[in-house]
Amino acid sequence: MSDQITVWGIGTTRAMRVHWMLHEAGLKYDCRPIGARTGETQTQAYLSLNPKGKIPAFQHGGFTLSESVAIIRYIGRNFELPEGFFVAANSFEESRLEEWCVFIAMELDAHPLYTMRRHRDLKHIYGAAPEAVDSAREYFLKQLNAAVPPVLENSRYLMGDDFSVADILLTSCLDWAHGYDIPLPKIIMEYRQRISLRPAYLSAVKVCYPNQSMPVQDGGEE
C-alpha cells in the first residue's frame, strides 16, 4: 500500500477532527480544500470517491474511508502515535474508548448539535423549528453534564492521563457548541481551553479554517 495520505474537506467540525488527528500523529498529507454545500462534493469525481457526497473523505494509498470518527480511529490504529497519546492496552480499555466515541458522535453531535444546525443555520433547506432547536440545546447540556464532568473531576482527559481520539471528538463538539453560545460548565470550559492550546490543534485550525482564527462557526457535514 502506498504511504500517500489525502484528505478532502475543510471548514467543518467533522473535517477538523481528521486534520487534527493527522497533526497529532505528525503525518504529512495532501489536503484537498473542498467545502460542504459548495457543489464540490457533488461532482462526479468526488462522488466516485465518496458516494455519500459529504466531507471529510480520506485516502491512504488505495484505501478510502469516510465518516470522521472512522477516519480518526483508523489513523489511531495504523500509525505510530506520540508519547502521551492514549493507546488501548486491552479489550476493556478499547471498549471504554469506543463507548466514548459512540456517545459523543451520537448523543452530542448527530442528535442535538446537528438538529440545531439543520433548523437554525440551514432552516432555508430544512425549515425553521425553534422548539426543536431549544429542545436539542437542552438535550446536549443534559447528556454532556451527565457524562463528562464526573470524569474530568478525577482525570485530565476522558481516558485518564493520556489524550485520546475521544478528546478530539469531544473538543470538536465543544467548539461547535461554543459557536452556538451554549453555556458550558466551568470544568468543561477549562478542559476545552487547555486542549485548544495543543500544538496539533493550533496547526490543524490553520489548515481547516484558513480564514478563521477559531473553529466555532460551522457545524459538521460528513
Same domain, 179 and 102: yes
Residues contacting residue 88 through CB under 8 Å, at least 6 positions apart: 94, 97
Q: What is the pLDDT of residues 134-184, one digit of tens each?
A: 999 999 999 999 999 999 999 999 999 999 999 999 999 999 999 999 999
| Residue 219 domain-assigned (yes or no) | no
Same domain, 193 and 144: yes
**Mean pLDDT (the chain, rounded):** 94
Same domain, 177 and 105: yes
Q: What is the pLDDT of residues 4-31, one digit of tens each?
A: 999 999 999 999 999 999 999 999 999 9
Kindly tell me if the per-residue pLDDT of 123 is higher than 80.
yes
pLDDT at residue 130 in the model: 93
Same domain, 111 and 179: yes
Same domain, 156 and 106: yes
Contact 165, 73 (CB under 8 A): yes
Q: What is the CATH number of the domain that holds 185?
A: 1.20.1050.10
Same domain, 75 and 147: no
Same domain, 126 and 164: yes
Contact 213, 6 (CB under 8 A): no
Q: Show contacts of 113-121: CB within 8 Å, 24+ apart.
A: 113/140, 113/173, 113/176, 113/177, 113/180, 113/219, 113/220, 114/219, 114/220, 116/140, 116/180, 116/219, 117/219, 117/220, 120/180, 121/219
pLDDT at residue 2 in the model: 66
| Residue 214 domain-assigned (yes or no) | no
Same domain, 177 and 133: yes
| Residue 218 domain-assigned (yes or no) | no
Q: What is the pLDDT of residues 47-105, one digit of tens each?
A: 999 999 999 999 999 999 999 999 999 999 999 999 999 999 999 999 999 999 999 99
Kindly tell me if the per-residue pLDDT of 122 is higher than 60.
yes
| Residue 216 domain-assigned (yes or no) | no
Q: The domain containing residue 32 runs over which residues?
A: 5-84+204-208
Kindly tell me if the per-residue pLDDT of 222 is higher than 50.
no
Same domain, 56 and 139: no
Looking at the 3D structure of the chain, how many domains does it have? 2
Hey, what's the cell of 83? 508519547
Hey, what's the cell of 180? 452556538
Alpha-carbon separation of residue 24 from 37, 39, 173 (angstroms) = 28, 30, 18
pLDDT at residue 220 in the model: 58
Same domain, 121 and 39: no
Same domain, 97 and 54: no
pLDDT at residue 90 in the model: 98
pTM (predicted TM-score): 0.94
